[in-house]
Chain A
């Protein structure tokens, strides 16, 4: 399957990854080669098999309140932290 440059840009947008002008054509080439290999699956008759989860059932637990991470620990890993919140660029009322 041949992946066009425009398609790579569309996927990168969905994936929230900025690709440089050098990366874009290389990504298109590499994805095309990998998808060609993967296309071997299109000829397989998977018959009556259906998608299923990796494990049989997930055990449940009581929904109890438990302590969260202390604020100073969270802060120590945060790139920008103001008044107890993660600081981000303006979302509403911006550009």
Chain B
């Protein structure tokens, strides 16, 4: 039975059709895996199997996602269960509607089995900022799963679901995907509707996808991408068939590397990256050195812009209309201040404070204004680079998963783990992290590929080539093994 958990979406469709196993068989295997593995990982904040079990018997839809269970980060709303954003301030909140992505997946026959853990309001790189405790890494449960979509990445890595949705503001899908040894895609800004995604930083936020393989990711992206009248920032550009031509390889592709960004990397990360580049070269890709001078400023720019936008977006959590309301007596302003002071965790407070400071009178120009201009400079740098190259390659993270507690007391150190991922959000381009093997301690690392706006198809094609050459996605983390596993 455990073999079912290793099957790709194509293999599952074929198996359902041939009658090798039923949708109910598959859902039972998934539920059993969650029951066995979840207690050691804490990938989920909420699991709901009762309603999915009924709909699994005979999905009405057909296609690669019909009857396929999935999980979603708990900042994406779905009818029927709680949406907490891993925050106390949303205690008791139940969404009256489905996010567009949830609704599209349900229409395709997919079954939402649970909501995944995250750093509170998606603010963090380890899920240690969840009000409900961290998600642990399936490769080593003394280490973090990354974040903020750590629950989504760990759930896929530990074979508890074949795919999961996350969200990205500065690397929150790619970084945990890399740390957990799975594939994470951040599509182009505007490619996927954000209706029903709780807003963090509206000029950066994008829903992302976690899978084991590029082809599985292509199926999910084809299903959820596209314009939505409920989200005016969603693009009206036509949606590709992302799986079409995915086997076409990398021959003739120009892959850029940025030499200055690789200085100072730990040796094992550097060797891992060089090996990955060698694989692309062996497939006929042309490796080109490029310079993206502004890339090194991404974290500083990111923490001004993201937090400025967060300070505005999170003003809606005021204890009046939903969520936590303080019982402390006092006037309206006291009620706001007490409800937010009690409801938000330390990292969320820190970021709202930083964003409020950057927008406040006397500091706006020196911080927010300047950060926006440097962001425009980064866009120009990337556009310039993409005239010479098709894909930009970097490591996804400077190192493998860190220990629980290692960085949580040092906010800046934590922020710097997003140094390779934040640029794509600031520039709005798509980027993917593909499992690229392991460091000296056996912890997964990731290869990050970035392309120009709306070039997801190219990214998934290159990812497919790389993963089929290396096969790292087949490796199963120790925590995913159960007593009856083969």
Q: What is the number of contacts between chain A and chain B, taking CB atoms within 8 Å?
A: 154
Q: Find out whether the CB atom of A27 lies under 8 angstroms from the CB atom of B349.
A: yes
Q: Is A89 an interface residue (CB 8 A)?
A: yes
Q: Find out whether the CB atom of B190 lies under 8 angstroms from the CB atom of A55.
A: yes
Q: Is A83 an interface residue (CB 8 A)?
A: no
Interface residues of A in 22-55 (CB under 8 A from B): 23, 27, 30-31, 33-35, 37-38, 40-42, 44, 46-47, 49-55
Q: Find out whether the CB atom of B337 lies under 8 angstroms from the CB atom of A17.
A: yes
Write out the residue numbers on chain A whose beta carbons fall within 8 Å of the beta carbon of B370: 41-42, 44, 46
Q: Find out whether the CB atom of B229 lies under 8 angstroms from the CB atom of A79.
A: no
Given contact pairs A17-B352, A31-B354, A88-B320, A41 touches B300 in the complex (Cβ within 8 A): yes
Q: Is A5 an interface residue (CB 8 A)?
A: no
Write out the residue numbers on chain B whose beta carbons fall within 8 Å of the beta carbon of A38: 300, 303-304, 367
Interface residues of B in 418-455 (CB under 8 A from A): 428
Write out the residue numbers on chain A whose beta carbons fall within 8 Å of the beta carbon of B324: 79
Bound form: Cα–Cα A8–B346 in Å: 14
Given contact pairs A33-B411, A79-B323, A50 touches B340 in the complex (Cβ within 8 A): no
Write out the residue numbers on chain B whose beta carbons fall within 8 Å of the beta carbon of A17: 337, 340-341, 344, 349, 352-353
- Contacting chain A: which of B4-12, B115-123, B133-141, B372-380? B372-380
Bound form: Cα–Cα A3–B322 in Å: 33
Give chain A nearest CB distance to B315 CB in angstroms.
7
Write out the residue numbers on chain A whose beta carbons fall within 8 Å of the beta carbon of B356: 11, 14-15
Bound form: Cα–Cα A74–B320 in Å: 12
Bound form: Cα–Cα A8–B349 in Å: 12
Chain A contributes a number of interface residues (CB within 8 A of B) equal to 52
Write out the residue numbers on chain A whose beta carbons fall within 8 Å of the beta carbon of B344: 17
Interface residues of B in 335-386 (CB under 8 A from A): 335-338, 340-342, 344, 346, 349-350, 352-354, 356-357, 360, 366-367, 369-374, 376-377, 379-380
Q: Is B311 an interface residue (CB 8 A)?
A: yes
Which residue of the partner chain B has the closest CB to A44?
Answer: B374
Q: Find out whether the CB atom of A86 lies under 8 angstroms from the CB atom of B320.
A: yes
Which residue of the partner chain B has the closest CB to A53?
Answer: B203
Interface residues of A in 42-84 (CB under 8 A from B): 42, 44, 46-47, 49-55, 58-61, 69, 73-74, 76-80
Complex partner residue of A46 from B322, B360, B367, B374, CB under 8 angstroms: B374
Q: Is B189 an interface residue (CB 8 A)?
A: yes
Q: Is A21 an interface residue (CB 8 A)?
A: no
Bound form: Cα–Cα A3–B354 in Å: 11
Write out the residue numbers on chain B whose beta carbons fall within 8 Å of the beta carbon of A40: 297, 300
Q: Find out whether the CB atom of A51 lies under 8 angstroms from the CB atom of B94.
A: no
Q: Is B264 an interface residue (CB 8 A)?
A: no
- Which secondary structure dominates where chain A touches chain B? loop
Given contact pairs A27-B353, A55-B189, A18 touches B340 in the complex (Cβ within 8 A): yes
Bound form: Cα–Cα A46–B371 in Å: 9
Q: Is B331 an interface residue (CB 8 A)?
A: yes
Write out the residue numbers on chain A whose beta carbons fall within 8 Å of the beta carbon of B21: none
Write out the residue numbers on chain A whose beta carbons fall within 8 Å of the beta carbon of B35: none
Bound form: Cα–Cα A59–B236 in Å: 9
Which residue of the partner chain B has the closest CB to A79?
Answer: B325
Given contact pairs A41-B371, A58-B232, A88-B335, A30 touches B350 in the complex (Cβ within 8 A): yes
Q: Is B330 an interface residue (CB 8 A)?
A: yes
Which residue of the partner chain A has the closest CB to B324?
Answer: A79
Q: Find out whether the CB atom of B300 lies under 8 angstroms from the CB atom of A52.
A: no
Q: Is B332 an interface residue (CB 8 A)?
A: yes
Q: Is B321 an interface residue (CB 8 A)?
A: yes
Q: Is A95 an interface residue (CB 8 A)?
A: yes
Write out the residue numbers on chain B whose beta carbons fall within 8 Å of the beta carbon of A23: 346, 349
Complex partner residue of B374 from A41, A55, A86, CB under 8 angstroms: A41
Bound form: Cα–Cα A86–B377 in Å: 46
Q: Find out whether the CB atom of A16 lies under 8 angstroms from the CB atom of B320.
A: no
Q: Find out whether the CB atom of A49 lies under 8 angstroms from the CB atom of B321.
A: no
Q: Find out whether the CB atom of A61 lies under 8 angstroms from the CB atom of B229.
A: yes
Q: Find out whether the CB atom of A31 lies under 8 angstroms from the CB atom of B337.
A: no
Contacts A42-B366, A89-B330 supplied; 19 other A-B pairs, CB < 8 Å: A3-B357, A12-B337, A16-B336, A16-B337, A17-B340, A18-B337, A34-B350, A35-B357, A38-B303, A40-B297, A51-B373, A54-B189, A58-B232, A69-B96, A76-B94, A77-B93, A78-B321, A88-B332, A89-B332
7 A–B pairs (Cβ distance < 8 Å), ordered by A: A16-B315, A37-B300, A40-B300, A44-B374, A52-B379, A77-B321, A79-B320
Chain A residues in the interface with B (C-beta under 8 A): 3, 8, 11-12, 14-20, 23, 27, 30-31, 33-35, 37-38, 40-42, 44, 46-47, 49-55, 58-61, 69, 73-74, 76-80, 86, 88-91, 94-95
